[in-house]
Structure 1
Amino acid sequence: MSDSQDENASLDEIRQLLPELPGPDMDAGTTALQHQTKLTKPAGSLGRLEELAVWLATWQGRGRPSMDRPRVAVFAGNHGITEHGVSAYPASVTEQMVQNFINGGAAVNQLAGNVGADLRVYEMALDQPTGDFTQGPAMNEEDCALALSYGMMSVEEGFDVMAVGEMGIGNTTAAAALCCALFGGEPSNWVGSGTGVDEAGLTRKAEVVTAGLAANEAEMTDPFEILRCLGGLELAAIAGAILACRMGRIPVVLDGFACTAAAAVLHAADSRTLDHCIVGHQSVEPGHARLLEILGKKPLMDLGMRLGEASGATLGIQVLQSAVACHIGMATFEEAGVSGPVGS
């Protein structure tokens, strides 16, 4: 987020992109689906692996899907609401963990290396946390729009899938506030233990969400205004990256609760905008299961994780690689000299 960026960035520019987003390439999907019927297996016997191979083909826009060049993007930002004790860790941990990513010492480094993914970490003005949203908007329009644009600029041509995640002490509270404003319900339905807060911490988180909703009620006129008022720089950047991936025909793997909440802003603006996204795992954060049901997304895994930092999304890359390996590498009935189904 440099001074050279457009100082007049606005959320209207983002809103205007939504009707122009490309849809699925049904021809590519059909080609992949037809290939599936020829492989040496009973139809449907590989379950979701078959569906994922076709889904990749549809959104990559090619009948032969590829998973040779995966990317993992972690966006990091700080939140003003941390002063209310909503996390078990101090806000300084955000910057410390970014350095840990750079040094190769975090879980996501190991997981990305395991799948051969290019890991990129994007720092979102860590020395300038968002405002305390219990007192008013977390961001002004320019900062929110610039964060969205920054996320969009992180997307380059030439890779096959993008796993996205976040690092930001306090962001599960921001995520809970976003979901409550977007989809209703009580704050207590959306907050969870995050980094490991106790019952008193859960109460504080719910109180902070309640106060944030009240303080920003008049300004939250659409999903992007809700993001501006209650979100964070890293969450806005994730939303921007998802949009840019859609425009570039790059499928996306979402991480846990905070990441999916950022994506949910786009869903609330236009329910088609997440069709190129899957969810890598279901977090133990209670709000995540509720959110996935609203979005109509079935996670690839449920491993009891709640780490963030794109860890679950990166695991999802391995599932996609397996789907493509079977789709591309398996012999057809004809090639293997195996008899197909009776009557085929």
Structure 2
Amino acid sequence: MNPAVNQRRRNFLSTAALGIAASQAGFIGNAAAASGISPATTTFTGVRQIRAGVLDVGYVDMGPANGRPVVLFHGWPYDIHAFIDVAPILAAAGYRVIIPHLRGYGTTRFLSADTPRNGQQASFTADAVAFLDALKIDKAIVAGFDWGARIATTLAALWPRRFHGLVSVSGYLIGSQEGNRKPLAPKAELQWWYQYYFATPRGELGYRENTHAFARLIWELASPQWQFDDATFERSAASLDNPDHVAISISNYRWRLGLAPGESRYESLERQLAAFPNVTVPAITMESDANGAPHPAPAAYAKKFPGKYEHRDLKGGIGHNLPQEAPREFAQAILDVAKLV
């Protein structure tokens, strides 16, 4: 699609409408600045809890209860506030917006002390399915970035009849341990420095002792032109104080490298994902011009979306946390993918 046409389509809600939606949808603080980016004093209120699978999940549920569900998944090391300005736009458009804390974040907790603090790919997929089942949501649009994009993509790929559409930042991120055995070019490997750091006892201890400082460094490297302030970072960093956060993070990256075992309960899911299934539901993928995190080129994954599909490139110094840095564009993609159904 022509980028100029995309830009015209994205200018779809006034700041006043955004403010009204925010005031009605479970926020505290100033609703939104003229840019569409709210100040750090704006936070989600009324975080709910629901038992789902092995977790007691903390989540936000806003907008009309009978609206079409949109489930948004955050990444590492971010939290639900990545969607603080996306949610009111979608709620104002009549959608029910649901944003869960992933395992190891915010108020989400394991129901049993005996459950492995496992961060393998399929564990998050299983969590998401159990979460949707607990909420009795039979069909939804799913969207996300970073780890959240992987979660949303696995759902859409494995259960196409259950999802109206997908919006994924950086496209097709489904992986496998076998696939991760193949080395990348040296410059690409350099971007994964923290993955190798986490493979060591020193790295685990370092992340545990310096979680907030480490996360802030990742934010800065992944979004080098995003001038976020201390309060904006701390609003999300509070979610990293979850008692299981470090264990989940370390497990995730060690599992990818084949250095940590998975759980038998997830073997079937991992086998399905290791086959790299196509995504046949309507999908929009997005990439930004200042994404400093490792990410594939759009041409590398376009064929994984054989159905109704668009890719959108964002300009203007937008980094890795696209939903928080460009909330209007991300929300517009969700509104547009709904039209592709």
Please indicate the TM-score interval, normalised by the length of the shorter structure: 0.3 to 0.5
**TM-score, structure 1 normalization:** 0.37
User: TM-score when scaled to structure 2?
Assistant: 0.37
Structure with greater strand percent: 2
Q: Which one has the largest radius of gyration?
A: 1
